[in-house]
A = this chain, B = another copy of it.
Amino acid sequence: MKRIESLKNERVKKWKKLHTKRGREQQGLFLVEGEHLVEEALKSNWLVSTIITNTTISIPFSGEVIQVNDSVLKELSRTETPQGMIAVCQRKELCQPADLTGVYVILDRIQDPGNLGTIIRTALAAGATAVVVGTGSVDVFNDKVIRSTQGAFFHIPVYEGGLEDWFNAFEQAKIPVFGTSLLEAIPYSEVEKTSQFALLLGNEGDGVGEEWLKRTNKNLYIPQNPKAESLNVAVASGILLYSLKSDLATKD
């Protein structure tokens, strides 16, 4: 087993660059921290190339394991209390599939990594087919996004890119798109449960952009106590997915 103890080590410097979006794109890699998340990555179809740890690992893993000291681990960690294990995973860019089926969550300019991660986690739990993260959103390979998914990231496809192609594809597949808006919208409870739809949620401050709201089949709102200003977007995703989706997956 290799051992690295210096912060000046070239590989440590390279891994550290994975803390930025640019570094992740250039190297085609991203970091996953903590035993639980690393296990979820290993159980999935994502490729883990290296595990970096300051202890012994009990997870079966045939790839490269690198032992480091506490200071190297701390340097690579993005949590306040480093969790003893970081995996270097290979990115993959998913292409829009030819056939669309089921339930999709589409996101327009989501900024908060915790919100994005929690929406991905909620989409998996609710049995959605995939999450589409529109241009202008936080990077899906951001460490806090992945951490907030609690592992769901590895078990549901997450697409990135422009929403235009997706709107065209949903139209062609006759999958209705439900936007979310406080204006010119109907209460979500007026929509009958259905097994195929795309739910469009928007930016934490601005909501969904006008250009997309015009292209939806219906726009929905969640009735609220007038003393309240708004709901958190991840909470809204849960309320809407569970209310609109007809057949909650109960088996794999």
The answer to whether A126 touches B224 (Cβ under 8 A) is: yes
Say how many copies of this protein the assembly contains. 2
From A127, A224, A234, A251, name the one whose CB has the most chain B CB atoms within 10 angstroms.
A224
How many whole Å from A229's CB to the nearest CB in chain B? 6
From A114, A126, A242, name the one whose CB has the most chain B CB atoms within 10 angstroms.
A242
Which chain B residues lie closer than 8 Å to A238 at the CB level? Answer: 231-232, 235-236, 238-239
Residue A99, interface by CB 8 Å: no
Which chain B residues lie closer than 8 Å to A243 at the CB level? Answer: 242-243
The answer to whether B155 touches A228 (Cβ under 8 A) is: yes
Which chain B residues lie closer than 8 Å to A225 at the CB level? Answer: 124-127, 248-249, 252
Which chain B residues lie closer than 8 Å to A150 at the CB level? Answer: 229-230, 232
Q: Which of B234, B239, B248, B250 contacts A242 (CB 8 A)?
A: B239
Given A127-B225, A226-B251, A251-B226, decide whether A121 and B242 contact each other with a Cβ distance below 8 A: no
Which chain B residues lie closer than 8 Å to A223 at the CB level? Answer: 248-250
How many whole Å from A121's CB to the nearest CB in chain B? 6
Given A114-B114, A243-B243, decide whether A250 and B234 contact each other with a Cβ distance below 8 A: no
Residue A152, interface by CB 8 Å: yes
Residue A222, interface by CB 8 Å: yes
Residue A118, interface by CB 8 Å: yes
- Please list the 8 inter-chain residue pairs (A to B) with the smallest Cβ-Cβ separation, ordered nearest first: A125-B228, A235-B238, A125-B224, A225-B249, A223-B248, A127-B225, A124-B228, A155-B227
Residue of B nearest to A148 (CB): B232
Q: From DSSP, what is the main secondary structure of chain A's interface residues? A: loop
**1/0 per residue A170-209: CB within 8 Å of B?**
0000000000000000000000000000000000000000
Residue A151, interface by CB 8 Å: yes
Which chain B residues lie closer than 8 Å to A227 at the CB level? Answer: 124, 155-156, 252
How many whole Å from A101's CB to the nearest CB in chain B? 15
Residue A237, interface by CB 8 Å: yes
Residue of B nearest to A252 (CB): B226
Which chain B residues lie closer than 8 Å to A251 at the CB level? Answer: 226
**1/0 per residue A49-89: CB within 8 Å of B?**
00000000000000000000000000000000000000000
